[in-house]
Amino acid sequence: EVTPEMTDLEKIVVLHDYLDVHTEYDYENYKNNTLPRVSYTAYGVLVEKKAVCQGYMLAYQYLLNKCGITSYYVTSTEMNHAWNIVKLDGMYYHIDATWDDPVPDTQGMAMHQYLLTSDGALAGHYDWHVYSTEDVDELTVSCSDTRYDTMFWREILSPVIAYDGVFLYRNGYQMMQR
């Protein structure tokens, strides 16, 4: 669903929605404390289509990096949670594809509450640590830019499609400047 003509913003949005539409959070195994190892992997997301936050984060980072988009992984021991930070136009933003995937799984639905958010917009996320796949040392990354915190997609519950500089979604469209 990603094409070379797409902007990095379009790629980020389309990949986020692809993961959320095609992956089911492994809620039953999570509730029963019977999560298989594969649920923690990118393979769980991309092949088995079922995972927990670590799998979403690893799959998203893999896809972003394949598109040439700088991505970091974020973990919170206190929350027992993981998500991504991306670099877009020289600024950093949080993306939590897991929390944007409805539970229980809803066919064809993707939320966007945690897509390209600033540090301040991450209500409910705390005690986080940022890492790169190339380095085991914790990084200091600030997601201070708020330009996407109030984007139209915050309230959209359907996947967003990028087409020729326009973001399309069920029951509407939004023009984006390239």
Question: What are the C-alpha distances in Å from 63 to residues 26, 60, 100, 177?
Answer: 21, 5, 17, 24
67 close to 5: Cβ distance less than 8 angstroms: no
Q: What is the pTM of this model?
A: 0.91
Please list the pLDDT of the chain residue by residue as tens digits (178 residues).
899 999 999 999 999 999 999 999 999 999 999 999 999 999 999 999 999 999 999 999 999 999 999 999 999 988 999 999 999 999 999 999 999 999 888 888 899 999 999 999 887 777 888 888 766 666 888 899 999 999 989 988 889 888 877 888 876 555 454 3
| Nearest-angstrom CA–CA distance, 53 and 74 | 11
Give the model's pLDDT for residue 173. Answer: 55
Structure token digits, residue 38:
């594969």
> Buried b / exposed e across 139-175, counting CB within 10 Å, b at 16+?
eebebebeebeebebeebebbbbbeeeebebeeeeee
Q: Dihedrals φ, ψ of 25, to 5°?
A: -65, 130
pLDDT digits (tens, 9 = 90+) for 11-60: 999 999 999 999 999 999 999 999 999 999 999 999 999 999 999 999 99
